A and B are shown apart, each in its own frame.
Chain A
Amino acid sequence: MKLRMEDKVGVRILHIEGAVDAHQFSVIRAGMVKILKNGKNKILVNFESSANVDQDAIRQVSELNAAARELSGEIVLVMSDPKMRGLVENFSKPPLVMCFSAVQEGLDHFNKSKAKAAPEPEDAATKNDEELLKQNQTLKSEVEQLRKQLTETSKGEAKNAKDESTRSKGLLEKLEIDIEKLQSGRRVAPDAETYEAKIGQLEGRIHQLVEELKTHQNDKPKSP
Chain B
Amino acid sequence: MDTLAKNIMSTEIISITPDTHVEEALKVLVNNKVTGLPVVTDSGKFVGILSELDIIEQIMASKTLDDVDFSEEIHFSKNITSVQETTTLKEVLVLFAESKFRRLPVVNGKGRLVGIITRRDIMRLLFYRARMGRE
- Which A residues form the contact surface with B (CB < 8 A)? 7, 9-10, 30, 33, 36-41, 67, 70-71, 118, 121-122, 124-125
Contacts and interface: CB of A to CB of B under 8 A. Distances in A.
B108 to A, nearest CB: 15
A71 to B, nearest CB: 6
B11 A33 contact: no
Counting chain B residues whose Cβ lies within 8 A of the other chain, the interface size class is 20 to 34
B64 interface: no
B124 A71 contact: yes
23 contacts: A9-B12, A10-B10, A30-B135, A36-B131, A37-B3, A37-B125, A37-B128, A38-B8, A38-B128, A39-B8, A39-B121, A39-B124, A39-B125, A39-B128, A41-B128, A70-B127, A121-B30, A121-B31, A121-B32, A121-B33, A124-B31, A125-B27, A125-B31
Contacts, number: 48
B114 to A, nearest CB: 11
A38 to B, nearest CB: 5
Nearest to A9: B12
Nearest to B7: A38
B12 A10 contact: yes
Contacts of B12: 9-10
A38 B10 contact: no
B4 to A, nearest CB: 9
Nearest to B131: A67
Contacts of A39: 8, 121-122, 124-126, 128
Contact of B132 (A36, A121, A122, A125): A36
B133 to A, nearest CB: 10
Nearest to B12: A10
Contacts of A40: 8
Contacts of B90: none
